[in-house]
Amino acid sequence: MSVDILVLAPHPDDAELCCGGLLLKARDAGLSFAIVDCTRGEMGTRGSVARRAKEAAAADRILRTRERINLKLRDGHLRDDEPLRVALVRALRRFRPRLVLAPHWEDQHPDHAAVGGAAEPAAWLCGAPKFDPRTARGVASPDRPPYRPARILYYNNRYGIDADLVLDISAVFEEKMKLTLCYGTQFGPGKRDARGKGNAPLTRLSSAQFLDFLRAMHGHYGFKINAPYGEPYCVKGPVALDSVESLLGNKR
């Protein structure tokens, strides 16, 4: 299989929360994408692994995700190390995306920082056919030549990034909010736990303030590009421009 876009997500919900606007726009443009969740979110204060998987499936129905896999690595224990890099190389070789979306390499959550740090080395190593022979089979065959993704974009962290690119997601912003709310155990106040007993503990993400923050945060990035709502990304290295016209920007 090959897809246009692959999201590397430490936990189920990161793809939707950080890249939901881009994915919704990709869906509407007929582009294909897959999501790789590195863990099952078992360290989450609220919800359960089973509930989280159902929430991810509900989000995928909205997104029409081509495929979503879970690497089942240990939540809370990710490091930019050999096992994580090998797992990411395997995922990249499986989906062969042109564009990879990864967490920003600086993040308070160590799992996010780990995946953000491992993304670029993994993208390079997956183009080295002799790296990890168990996954190299087929990589150099005539129909699957050695491959590296064309670009990695790094998505937002909790405190906001100094964005290199801001995608105008105004047209899909309300749908992005719905997508985010598929994760009822994580976001929004007053959700009951999986057994239906009492209210799950309140966290920063599940406070009523968080949804207000999300709206304001996307408005903050949107303002920078003269749009109602924007989704921020960072990039390492220069972005190639094909034409002078592309520098003129869209008429607003």
- The site for Zn ion (CB under 5 A) is made up of 10-11, 14
Q: Minimum Å distance from CB 38 to Zn ion? A: 9
Q: Minimum Å distance from CB 27 to Zn ion? A: 22
Closer to Zn ion by CB, 14 or 55: give it.
14
Closer to Zn ion by CB, 125 or 161: give it.
161
Q: Minimum Å distance from CB 220 to Zn ion? A: 21
Q: Minimum Å distance from CB 103 to Zn ion? A: 8
Separation between Cα atoms, residue 115 and residue 197, nearest integer Å: 35
Q: Is 206 within 8 Å of 191 (Cβ atoms)? A: yes
Closer to Zn ion by CB, 98 or 158: give it.
158
Q: Minimum Å distance from CB 203 to Zn ion? A: 13
Closer to Zn ion by CB, 103 or 149: give it.
103
Closer to Zn ion by CB, 114 or 225: give it.
114
Amino acid at 143: D
Residue 167 phi, psi (nearest 5): -90, 130
Residue 246's alpha-carbon distances to 84, 167, 249, 252, in angstroms, are: 37, 15, 6, 15
Closer to Zn ion by CB, 10 or 230: give it.
10
- Dihedral over alpha carbons 139, 67, 120, 243 (to 10 degrees): 90
Closest to 127 measured CA to CA, from 96, 101, 104: 96
Chain residue at closest Cβ approach to Zn ion: 11
Q: Minimum Å distance from CB 52 to Zn ion? A: 11
Which residue intervals of the chain are DSSP H helices? 14-28, 49-63, 82-95, 110-125, 133-136, 173-180, 208-224
- CA angle, residues 183, 1, 139, in degrees to nearest 5: 125
Q: Minimum Å distance from CB 44 to Zn ion? A: 9
**For the chain, how many helices (H) and strands (E)?**
7, 7
Closer to Zn ion by CB, 10 or 21: give it.
10
Q: Is 31 within 8 Å of 99 (Cβ atoms)? A: no
